[in-house]
Amino acid sequence: MLNLFRRSAVKPAQLRSALEDLGVGGQVAIAHTSLSAFGYVEGGAQGMGEALVSSLRTLLMPAFTYYTLVWPPERAQPDWPQPPPRSRVAFCQDSRISPDIGRVAQWLADQPGRLRSAHPALSFAAIGPDAENLLRGQTLENPYGPIGELYRLDGLVILLGVDHRSNTSMHYGEYLAGQALLPRYVMVGEEVRETYFPNCSAAFDRIAPLLSGRSLRLEQGRIAVFRVREVVDTTTEVILRDPEALLCNYLGCRCQQVRTLVRRFGLRPRLPAPQPEVREE
């Protein structure tokens, strides 16, 4: 009788077929994933990761390590947790990814052929012929540089079992629109340095009706694909029209400090997105 309730396994071949149906073959893309959203994926993180790598020209994923942030008392911010946590370890190329980023991202970071940027808290991992170009533009002042390069290459965002609350490309749209970004601190050598940090994304799914992506359902999960240019441009336009449109309303969230700052100082738009350039095949 228990077999009647057993969920079907999603096979890597099904993932590859779904990605092909969504037109991602041979493209450059950033992927955000949730294995649990599909119930059971045969091969786990490796199965999903290999399906992505075999379908794409180059795969980019966040490899964030939030635990490497430092919290110097003399630079304390109103939104910091109380008491501020202590950094457990300095960042290195083999640092484990924060668990909420997902097991597939960790699988990618563990691959011998991947490259990983050196941001102490917001690194990205990539594998494929465009990996070096994607990662080289990241700085402490522009941690979303890899999304800017993905924009230039007319790349894709792939959401596997997650929605726009996991869509890092929207943070690049925030950055370009000049949204207030709260500072965080990292160690660079022996020096404490400031970096921009992602705002809360709890309200990011409000953008969904404005985007024209493609999606399909695979067993319990959904796979959706969007052009990075559309995601970034739409996010920027939404914020320029209403700076509070993508801020959540949770009272304890840092969105409330961002709301206060943007009401007081307004937006401070940054450099525009790179001019579109079509990658030659």
Give, for 14, the enclosing helix (H) or strand (E): helix 12-21
Q: For strand 183-188 and strand 191-196, is the pairing parallel, antiparallel, or unpaired?
A: antiparallel
Full DSSP string of 65-87: -GGG-B--GGG--TTS-SSPPPP
The residue ranges of every structural domain in the chain are: 8-265
Query: What pLDDT shows up at residue 1?
Result: 44
The span from the CA of 208 to the CA of 108, in Å, is: 27
As given in the structure block, the two tokens for residue 149 are 């390069």
Does residue 36 contact residue 109 with C-beta atoms inside 8 Å? no
Q: What is the mean pLDDT of each run of 10 residues along the chain (281 residues)?
A: 60 97 97 96 97 98 95 88 81 95 97 96 98 94 94 97 98 95 91 91 97 96 98 97 96 93 94 59 48
Question: What SS3 state is found at 47?
Answer: helix
Query: What pLDDT shows up at residue 89?
Result: 80
Query: What pLDDT shows up at residue 137?
Result: 86
Query: What pLDDT shows up at residue 279?
Result: 52
Does residue 152 contact residue 144 with C-beta atoms inside 8 Å? no
The span from the CA of 243 to the CA of 265, in Å, is: 11
Residue type present at position 103: R
Q: What is the DSSP letter of 255?
A: H
Question: What SS3 state is found at 209?
Answer: helix
Does residue 69 contact residue 185 with C-beta atoms inside 8 Å? yes
Query: What pLDDT shows up at residue 274?
Result: 60
Beta bridge partners of 215: 224
The side-by-side arrangement of strands in the sheet containing 221-227 is: 115-116, 124-127, 58-62, 28-33, 156-160, 221-227, 214-218
As given in the structure block, the two tokens for residue 279 are 């990658």
Q: What is the DSSP letter of 32?
A: E
Q: For strand 58-62 and strand 124-127, is the pairing parallel, antiparallel, or unpaired?
A: antiparallel
